[in-house]
Amino acid sequence: MTQPARTSVRGHADFRRLWSGSAVSQLGSAVGMVALPVVAVTVLEASAFEVALLSALTAVTTALLAFPLGRHVEFRRKRPVMIAADVARCACLAGVPIAAWLGVLTFAQLCVVAVVNATCQIAFSAAAQAHLKALVSPERLIDANSRLESTRWLSISVGPSAAGALIGLLSAVGSLVVDAASFLVSALAIRRLRAPEPDPPARAPRSSRRAELFGGWAFARGHSALRPMLISWVAFAGASSMGASVSAVFYLRDLHFEAWQYGLLMGVPSLGGFIGARLAPRLAARLGPLRALWWASMLRGPWYFLIPAAMPGPAGLLMCGFGFGMVLLFAGTANSTMTSYRQLQTPDDLLARVATLWSFATTVTQPLFILLGGLVATWAGTRASLFAAAALMCAAGLLLPRAPSRAGST
């Protein structure tokens, strides 16, 4: 079915520039996520604790800076923020191979890179989500988000394999040059946007610093739809983290899959997220945004039960891959629809702060769910932990408000 022209961003030159830059930087980031720990281990001979610290720094940075950065970005022009974030990431990543080639690379520098990357990612994401609403008309927003979401899933699917190939071809240090270059491409793409950027929102008169910091939280808490959406989002993301924390042990030890089979299960099902994101505009047009979100959220969880129900052998491999792929298909639809609805419901002077609230809530609670997954696996086994994760995914859909009728779904 062909979408009506007014709901599609096809032919929107500025969005195409933004999308292409975003796609390149997302693929580069997927490479960097693999390459940076490899550099720590192979070049600096980092310990297991130090490698874990690199990952933890991202969560700590998000927890500490999400609200201050949301406030900072909110009242500024968004394109300069996005360009500055890209240039900063390019510079800090490019510094790693330069330092390595000069023989002065240290673990402290990698920690700085991790913190700078996390900080810039928060600022860029907040600015980009706020700016997208100004760049495209409201009726085109869900199609724009579906395209951005689809490239994110594609980078998740292709990125690790591309990282492995680049590391083999260029070395881990050399592959970071590709990651750095991807952010430069993104900055240049944003620089080429031609439509004038609207003035940033004005600060409310006599607004306190505290009110500005927590404005996104206060708005979402008082919104009848966004509040349960945030809780549902955190629950599903937590369930995903809970399952992911024990899936490697389940696949490799309990089901006796080979390493290459495990790699396939980590990459190929992400194509389901790509397909689901691309289906979001059609489903929203047919059902209405809230009904599309509700149905996608209700249908994603049950498929995860196929994973802990699987047994060793080829049939089990197909069962796990199909189940995970279907989870991600409906998750891709739900993510695109929820992001678009959130942007449309949020006033322009709160967009960046509400966006950082979503990042903060997910990042802060994620370690708790990972710990829960490990505890359940230790007490009752990995299969039980995965069943619990599947049940939580289903519960996440139930946390959403009941979908309205088609006529009332706006």
Mean pLDDT for each 10-residue chunk of the chain (410 residues)? 64 91 85 87 88 86 92 94 95 95 94 93 93 92 93 84 81 90 94 92 82 92 94 95 91 91 87 95 92 95 97 95 96 95 94 94 90 92 96 95 56
Q: What's the CATH code of the domain at 221?
A: 1.20.1250.20
User: Is 1 a domain residue?
Assistant: no
In a domain, 2, yes or no: no
Residue 121 lies in a domain: yes
Whether residue 133 is found in the same domain as residue 222:
no
> How far, in Å, CA of 264 to CA of 406, rounded?
39
- Identify the domain containing residue 396 by its residue range: 209-410
Q: Of 149, 180, 200, which closes a domain?
A: 200
Say yes or no: 134 and 235 in one domain. no
The answer to whether position 303 is within a domain reads yes
Q: Does one domain contain both 188 and 286?
A: no
Query: Is 342 among the domain residues?
Result: yes
User: Considering the entire predicted model, what is its pTM?
Assistant: 0.88
In this structure, are 323 and 403 located in the same domain? Answer: yes
Number of domains in the chain: 2
Residues 376 and 244 occupy one common structural domain = yes
Residue 13 in any domain: the answer is: yes
Same structural domain, 269 and 131: no
The residue from 159, 183, 200 where one domain ends is 200
Asked if residue 350 and residue 236 are part of one domain, the reply reads: yes
Q: Are residues 158 and 216 in the same domain?
A: no
Looking at residue 333, its pLDDT comes to: 96
* Same domain (yes/no): 214, 111: no
The reported pLDDT for the residue numbered 403 is 61
User: What is the three-state SS of 126-195?
Assistant: HHHHHHHHHHCCHHHHHHHHHHHHHHHHHHHHHHHHHHHHHHHHHHHHHHHHHHHHHHHHHHHHHHCCCC
Q: Is residue 289 part of a domain?
A: yes
| Residue 74 CA from chain centroid, whole number | 20
Reduced 3-state DSSP string for the chain = CCCCHHHCCCCCHHHHHHHHHHHHHHHHHHHHHHHHHHHHHHCCCCCHHHHHHHHHHHHHHHHHHHHHHHHHHHCCCHHHHHHHHHHHHHHHHHHHHHHHHHCCCCHHHHHHHHHHHHHHHHHHHHHHHHHHHHHCCHHHHHHHHHHHHHHHHHHHHHHHHHHHHHHHHHHHHHHHHHHHHHHHHHHHHHHCCCCCCCCCCCCCCCCCHHHHHCHHHHHHHHCCCHHHHHHHHHHHHHHHHHHHHHHHHHHHHHCCCCHHHHHHHHHCCHHHHHHHHHHHHHHHHHHCHHHHHHHHHHHHCHHHHHHHHCCCCHHHHHHHHHHHHHHHHHHHHHHHHHHHHHHHHCCHHHHHHHHHHHHHHHHHHHHHHHHHHHHHHHHHCHHHHHHHHHHHHHHHHHCCCCCCCHHHCC
pLDDT for res 1: 42
Is 168 a domain residue?
Answer: yes
Residues 102 and 250 in one domain: no
Do 163 and 247 have their domain in common? Answer: no
Q: Last residue of some domain: 182, 200, 218?
A: 200
Euclidean distance between CA atoms 367 and 371, whole angstroms: 6
Query: What pLDDT does residue 160 have?
Result: 77
Do 240 and 144 share a structural domain?
A: no
